[in-house]
Amino acid sequence: MASSEAREANDVEIKEWLESLDYVIKQGGPERVQTLLERLQIHARQAGVEIPFTANTPYINTIPPDRQPVYPGSRDLERRIKSLVRWNALAMVVRANREESGIGGHISTYASAATLYEVGYNHFFRGKGDDHDGDIIYFQGHASPGVYSRAFLEGRLTKEHLSCFRREIRSENGLSSYPHPWLMSDFWEYPTVSMGLGPLMAIYQARFNRYLEDRGLKKHSDSKVWAFLGDGETDEPETLGAITLASREKIDNLIFVINCNLQRLDGPVRGNGNIVQELEAIFRGAGWNVIKVIWGSDWDPVLAQDHEGLLVKRMGEIVDGQWQKFSAESGAYFREHFFGVDPRLLDMAKHLSDDQLRRMRLGGHDPQKVYSAYKAAVDNVGSPTVILARTIKGYGLGESGEGKNITHQQKKMNEDELRQFRARFGIPISDEDIAEAPFYRPPDDSPEIQYVRNQRQKLRGYVPTRVVAVESIKAPGDEMFEEFLAGTDGREASTTMVFVRILAKLLRDEQIGDLIVPIVPDEARTFGMEPLFRQVGIYSHVGQLYEPVDAATLLYYKEAKDGQILEEGITEAGSMSDFIAAGSAYATHGVNTIPFFIFYSMFGFQRIGDLIWAAGDTRTKGFMLGGTAGRTTLAGEGLQHQDGNSHILAYPVPNLLAYDPAYAYEIAVIIQDGIRRMYEKQEDVFYYLTLMNENYAHPHMPDGDGVREGILRGMYKLKATENQNAKLRAQLFGSGAILNEVLEAERLLREQYNVAADVWSVTSYKELYRDGHEAERWNMLHPSEKPRTPYITQLVAEQPGVFVAASDYVKALPDSVSQWLPRPLVSLGTDGFGRSDGRAALREFFEIDRRFITLATLVALAREKKIKMDVVQKAIKDLEIDPEKADPFTS
Ligand SMILES: Cc1ncc(C[n+]2csc(CCOP(=O)(O)OP(=O)(O)O)c2C)c(N)n1
Ligand SMILES: [Mg+2]
């Protein structure tokens, strides 16, 4: 057969099959078709036909035109409102950059997303009220100008605010670049701009809402979590990394809206592929409800002619780089290169002019299509929903940026470009004024503003709005912590064990027990927390559907719908997102949940530092516990596990207090005061404590006024020498498990070298550092007033002898406070990569054991000419120290 004959026969065959299918649709409906197709598939497979796997549906809208609900609002008014929001958002960025070139801001992100947000504002996003939860909305960070512009129309922000976009320092009306609750604490609720974190946090937030309901800490509500993100943003591993949690747990209160403008910063997201289809397959594979919003209503009649599926097939062949080209090209170009490949396709478009073709709207710019998708998402039961909306980046910027590769960073527009934009969106600004790019808001009694207000009233208030309406709670009293202040009576325990005991006790507390949220990423047994599995249960929305393998044991693995522990599996990022949701529930839900997130300390700050930063921005409260910390205290685990870093990485987080406690009573004092500060006084701070796994006896808390205060402020004198008048004196600082080495060094120095040393427990270098700089700063700015003295100086200014510090962290930690000591400080620490070996070997390797602390003290005394260098030389020999040993920093 000639090939054209073959094609014809083929076509006839396809036509017959399609006609039969149409008949079944008509007679039996969609369910009948599903059954038939399933049977056909099985039959084909049995006959040996291999059917390639695809998780994709055709490249058309998920919701066909005949299943679209009626649009409930005024399309005309909404279009006018949206145009005004577009204009003011653009003007805000353009004006900011005129005043100060390089100040930045984004025009094209919001320009592409305007319809996605406006349909939400007019019909979906619910505000918070006294007796109902609002929706939780993660706005895409770079779309912030649109969010401000919307608030301006709503009358919540003024022209003055808009003129101060990105001018937070020079004006009290300044608007922050992106969503930052730290900076605009009555406006922004959830920080999003570090891409990937917003979607991740949204998943855990939606899940945490369920947790609160299942545990009876908040009323059931139908509130939704909306997360708006960019298609480029889906390349971040965090964006997609937790999507199976959402489907596995049937979190149907979650809606992702991915703005598929096919572009990221530098160029196309998938120039040679198709991001909508790629994401569809990923999300469908993960069990999400996927709604594609690709084509606008203009395409409906064209697609209606596509009886043979030619157009749909052609749509599916085009790669995104080419779609982007089409969006930036003329209608004639589109006709030639898209429809031109087949006369039958050309025929479908023949009634459309080039101009009409160029303007064929995409789904994400069509309110009807977006509304239909949102409605379906909100009504969907049993799975999370993702909406993949196709748009054009820089929509409306015309020649100056629409769909261009440079569009992401466009911040300036000349008069001509502003004029075109004005014309396209019908903004009532005169020719004389246009060059100024003035902000425009119709009067309060205009139909636009009335509409905006009415719609928001129906939806119960404005979003975003951050309100904190929570009662403060009383921190547990001293009785709760007494046993920890009393010490262990010679019994050995690790600080990790001590912490777990405190946690278990807090969980039993009548007042606050229910509010505690223990969070652990598959490490509970490492920390000895498994008794808690049984005590309070592991949270699971579905309870426990199986008989646990250890059901017969006392401490069996108990999952329960009202379980309290969030056992997240191996995801520090996910657990940190829980921490943020639980630690900000006081604002989100008016519930004072107190998260305790315990993790392998090395996989905390350096792995999820950006989430910790976001937690600070969110004004999150709670305790982070870095378990089995210390570069030499965690024996055996080697380079990747041994943490000598986290305390220095905790320095930059401004509202984080970081402690490296050594004893049970220190931990008790810190936790008690932490609860008091965060939940009684409602301070926006959070805590980091490192915990070690070395067992030793814990003493009774020393008497004395300054001890409690010292623990909290960073240091206190643990042991004063009995020989105050000795000739050779030293001040030794120790932290965490290394405090014991310091105490041993004190003994060696006393017994063998006649050096009388005082020993200090340094619980927080960070607090000492913060306090020292606070005093310095005040003194710098108030030169003629009585200078303030840093706390550490107050403690040690009059103390005699040399200063030596040792910790299980890098030397930069003690070095950071050395300037406030009366004499130089010798710092010992664990700079360098870890090793797998025992504690003693590691402490020798990193030069922080009792012998090195002794040696460092002697060297310092020799430098001060208090002893001769030969004493030091002899000590090196007596202490069996190899002077030629490898430098741990570089080996
Ligand atoms: C973690 C992170 N990396 C890089 C950036 C810088 N950045 C800001 S926007 C952007 C491109 C965004 O593209 P897309 O997600 O597609 O959003 P669109 O603006 O196209 O809606 C980049 C790389 C960032 N904000 N966060
Ligand atoms: Mg994009």
d(CA 761, CA 700): 14
DSSP 777-790: HHHHH-TTSPPP--
- Ligand 1 nearest-atom number relative to CA 264: 13
Coil, strand or helix at 138: strand
Distance 273 CA to ligand 2 centre (A): 14
Tell me the pLDDT tens digit for each residue of 798-809: 999 999 999 999
Contact 408, 263 (CB under 8 A): yes
Tell me the pLDDT tens digit for each residue of 441-480: 999 999 999 999 999 999 999 999 999 999 999 999 999 9
pLDDT at 499 over 60: yes
Tell me the pLDDT tens digit for each residue of 691-720: 999 999 999 999 988 999 999 999 999 999
Place of tokens 């599996």: 569
Which tokens hold the place of 489?
Answer: 């009576």
Q: What is the pLDDT of residue 664?
A: 98
Q: What is the mean pLDDT of residues 660-680?
A: 98
Tell me the pLDDT tens digit for each residue of 37-70: 888 988 888 899 988 888 999 999 999 999 999 9
In the 8-state DSSP scheme, what is residue 178? Answer: S
Tell me the pLDDT tens digit for each residue of 284-316: 999 999 999 999 999 999 999 999 999 999 999
Reduce the secondary structure of 355-407 to three states and give it as a string: HHHHHCCEHHHCHHHHHHHHHHHHHCCCCCEEEEEECCCCCCCHHHCCCCCCH
pLDDT at 685 over 60: yes
Which ligand sits nearest to residue 234's alpha carbon? 1
Alpha helices in 177-267 (DSSP H): 197-214, 237-241, 243-248
If you average pLDDT over every residue of the chain, what do you get? 96
Integer angstrom CA distances of residue 214 from 112, 373, 543, 857: 39, 29, 10, 58
Contact 594, 680 (CB under 8 A): no
Q: What is the pLDDT of residue 278?
A: 98
d(CA 274, CA 600): 39
Distance 193 CA to ligand 2 centre (A): 14
User: pLDDT above 90 covers what percent of the chain?
Assistant: 93
For residue 437, give every residue at least 6 positions away whose Cβ sits within 8 Å of its Cβ, in sequence order, or none: 90, 91, 94, 95, 98, 413, 418
User: Is any atom of ligand 1 closer than 6 Å to the C-beta of 265?
Assistant: yes
Provide the pLDDT confidence category of residue 2 given band limits of 50, 70 and 90.
low
DSSP 602-626: GGTHHHHHHHHHHHHHHT--SEEEE
Q: What is the pLDDT of residue 38?
A: 87
Which tokens hold the place of 473?
Answer: 């709670």
Tell me the pLDDT tens digit for each residue of 598-653: 999 999 999 999 999 999 999 999 999 999 999 999 999 999 999 999 999 999 99
d(CA 789, CA 144): 43
Q: What is the pLDDT of residue 704?
A: 85
Distance 262 CA to ligand 2 centre (A): 5
Place of tokens 């003007």: 91
User: Is any atom of ligand 1 closer than 6 Å to the C-beta of 109?
Assistant: yes
Residues bordering ligand 2, an ion, CB closer than 5 Å:
230-232, 261, 263
Q: What is the mean pLDDT of residues 783-797?
A: 98
User: Is any atom of ligand 1 closer than 6 Å to the C-beta of 390?
Assistant: no
Alpha helices in 522-592 (DSSP H): 530-536, 572-583, 585-588
Tell me the pLDDT tens digit for each residue of 378-401: 999 999 999 999 999 999 998 888
Provide the pLDDT confidence category of residue 132 given band limits of 50, 70 and 90.
confident
Q: What is the mean pLDDT of residues 560-571?
A: 97
Alpha helices in 459-494 (DSSP H): 478-485
Alpha helices in 393-473 (DSSP H): 415-425, 431-434, 447-458
Distance 62 CA to ligand 1 centre (A): 27
Which ligand sits nearest to residue 195's alpha carbon? 1
Tell me the pLDDT tens digit for each residue of 416-432: 999 999 999 999 999 99
Q: What is the pLDDT of residue 364?
A: 98
Q: What is the pLDDT of residue 485?
A: 97
**Residue 505 CB neighbours (<10 A):** 16
User: pLDDT above 70 covers what percent of the chain?
Assistant: 100
Q: Closest residue (by CA) to atom 13 of ligand 1?
A: 264
Report the length, in residues, of the chain.
891
User: Is any atom of ligand 1 closer than 6 Å to the C-beta of 393?
Assistant: yes
Q: Closest residue (by CA) to atom 17 of ligand 1?
A: 230
Distance 400 CA to ligand 2 centre (A): 18
Q: Residue 694 half-sphere exposure, CB side, CA atoms within 13 Å?
A: 24
| Beta-sheet strands, E only, within 742-829 | 755-762, 802-806, 825-828
Distance 469 CA to ligand 2 centre (A): 36
d(CA 407, CA 840): 59
- CA angle, corner 301, sides to 295 and 302, nearest 5? 70
